[in-house]
Structure 1
């Protein structure tokens, strides 16, 4: 994608319909949440270089809704992430999931994780933070959101971003990070990782991790826990001993119903406890 066509590209980009190709076939346990009583669908968020697509779900009546940013996995804002937004809306939240990879490519149309990873690797953390700021601004200005009751949650790739945005934006009341990587290489695009910001973190973040996650070694989870003890955030990490990576992803074989339900309950309690 040439730089000169970037604005053109993001102006015409739209969200995925259905599930990303790379996650087929879809599990029989997939959860489907209807949009009854909700306003739900794609919106466009004004950002520095154009507009990016996002999925927004909120109650059809009322105003001043608490805002939850829902941050995608590497598969983009496909049906699973959209469904999570509707679940939040049913609880009274304005939930919004901006498409974070739109400038780099449409991952929903790719057939494998191997094809997706190079695109995701090109996404700068600074761009993500800026886009999330713009999303919060849009939610307050255009969608009846209450900026004083802001929460964030994310899955896998989005779990890492949850930690980072909570450190970046002190207006966040609380975050819940689902199995997001905690360590990594320091690069120009990814200058810091959750373990690097843990000791200075002020926003309370709940981390939900799987003991059988082959991509996130438990020693990195323990390192994060130790660093968090130095912070004033009162953040916590829960490890489900028998859960693999992506245990909340009900459309995938990795789904673990017991741990997923427990995590969802913990998320709701965490948000309530901290004013989201």
Structure 2
């Protein structure tokens, strides 16, 4: 594939992140038949940010855009596969590598070390700006800037909430098991529960009741904040699911919850003007 000279031919295809552990037998692989896929670099804040994109092949019409926000493990094979799944539904799906200035998540085989040495150093303000540049780039490379959504997983689930309060051009957002409360630091000065009143985008939150890091009281606090703000948001909690229940390459995967969450996300997008073209 060769959309233009931003195609990055020097980057190796992403495998699964070492810090995520052994790849489970439940792993789903989505092929690229009927798709255009590739690794690109996006101009952002005087840098060139790597990103993976997938979209239906041969489409001349501008396509609805979904920005896929990475897990803590970065834009590894699972996130790329999610882009292909969305492309099969008629979307231009793009996943920017939001840690690229701080380091390479594929260099870590321990999740604690990955968080301490890399992820904790990534400022929310930097991420918001990089997502803005991603949206602009996608809208000038086959996407429809008037039909823009985000979805994020784990670390990216929290970011999806924040971006829904940041960008008024978003039509919809879906946050998968994203952290809702937490300690405030220089890099993470606010959390979703603090920003409920600022939401300008309808958000679907998808959570597992067995998640040991996102507790029922955290979800209750977020629901109260959303209700007080009269925000357009809905939170779905799956009783039998834990954290990362959509991650089919991990033992956390809970197929029934994952399938229902995916269906609800697509319905949410459609409900808010983000139907995949021709799907």
TM-score with structure 2 setting the length? 0.92
- Residue segments in structure 2 that go unaligned for 5+ positions in a row: 1-7, 275-279
Shift of 1:231: 2.7
**Superposition pairs of residues 56-71 of structure 1, within 5 angstroms:** 56-62=53-59, 63-71=61-69
Q: Tell me the secondary structure at the aligned position of residue 121 of structure 1.
A: helix
2:48 equivalent in structure 1? 51
Deviates more, 1:226-235 or 1:49-58: 226-235
Within the candidate set 179, 182, 185, 1:184 is matched to 182
CA contact (8 A) 2:19 2:109 kept: yes
Deviates more, 1:12-21 or 1:56-65: 12-21
Between 1:212-221 and 1:226-235, the stretch displaced more is 226-235
Instruction: Say which is worse superposed, 12-21 or 73-82, in terms of deviation.
Output: 12-21
CA contact 1:202–1:232 (8 Å) conserved in 2: no
What is the aligned partner in structure 1 of residue 86 from structure 2? 88
Partner of 1:162: 160
The answer to whether the 8 Å contact 1:73/1:156 transfers is yes
Distance 1:134 1:112 in 2: 31
C-alpha root-mean-square deviation of aligned residues, in Å? 1.4
CA distance in 1, matches of 2:183, 2:169: 28
Q: Within 5 Å, which residues of 2 pair with 1:184-203?
A: 184-203=182-201
**C-alpha distance in 2 between matches for 1:65 and 1:24:** 35
Residue in structure 2 matched with residue 216 of structure 1 by the alignment: 214
In the alignment, the residues of structure 1 paired with residue 12 and residue 152 of structure 2 have an alpha-carbon distance, to the nearest angstrom, of 18
Matching residue of 1:241: 239
Compute the displacement of 1:14 (Å): 4.0
User: CA 1:127–1:13 in structure 2 vs 1: closer, same or farther (change >3 Å)?
Assistant: farther
Give 1:72-83 correspondences, 5 Å limit: 72-83=70-81
Cα deviation, 1:60-111, whole Å, max 9, x if unaligned, reads 1212100000001110000000000000000000000000111111111211
C-alpha separation between the residues in 2 aligned to 1:233 and 1:94?
A: 27
Corresponding residue for residue 14 of structure 2: 17
Distance 1:18 1:189, change over 3 A: same
